[in-house]
Amino acid sequence: MSFSEEFAALGSRTSSEVVRQEVIPADHELAVRLGTRLHERVFCLERVRRVEGRPVAWQLSQIQYAKVPGIEAGDFATLSLYEALRDRYRLAIISADELIQARIAAPHELTLLGLDAGAAVFQIERRSFGEGGDLLELVDSVYRSDRYEIRLTLTRH
């Protein structure tokens, strides 16, 4: 689920502050992580995500621009990225994997998320996949650990 869908399911109102929205050439690290070529154009959307007006997370979404031409014109302060992917580009996210780590917030995150020095955060890397296992989106997020919880359901197959 998207950030907005996740919190709407809990009855909470969400909003986004766009920090950066641009198309950039992929450096070596981003090309490897996103599974694209060096210098390939990538759409980057950096946002502070809020719940009931209070900052909960910082997110950086990155998508190969060839899959979403013109997306940088969207107003992502009000528009859902996942709705744009689905409705405008016919890209449905079918599955995702996440790597979750706990750590102390970096100095710039303290400011963005309104945290005190020494605060703990969850660092989450998500890779979202479409039909046929195609990597659609790479998301790096930092969540306030005092305003977000992670619940997992594990099943033996």
Q: What is the pTM assigned to this prediction?
A: 0.87
Burial of 87 (0-12, 13-18, 19+ CB in 10 A): exposed
pLDDT of residue 156: 86
Q: Which residue is associated with the tokens 């979404």?
A: 61
As beta bridge partners, residue 22 has 44
pLDDT of residue 36: 95
Superfamily of domain covering 3-144: Chorismate lyase-like (3.40.1410.10)
pLDDT of residue 150: 77
Q: Could you tell me if residue 35 is left (phi over 0), alpha (psi between -120 and 50 degrees) or otherwise beta?
A: left
The pair of three-digit structure tokens given for residue 46, joined into one six-digit string = 């950096």
d(CA 23, CA 152): 34
Query: Which DSSP category does 5 fall into?
Result: H
pLDDT of residue 4: 53
Q: In tens digits, what is the pLDDT along the chain, a chain of 157 residues?
A: 555 555 455 566 778 899 999 999 999 999 999 999 999 999 999 999 998 889 999 999 999 999 999 999 999 998 989 999 999 999 999 999 999 999 999 999 999 999 999 999 999 999 999 988 999 999 999 999 998 877 778 888 8
Contact present, 145 and 115 (Cβ < 8 Å): no
pLDDT of residue 8: 52
d(CA 96, CA 94): 7
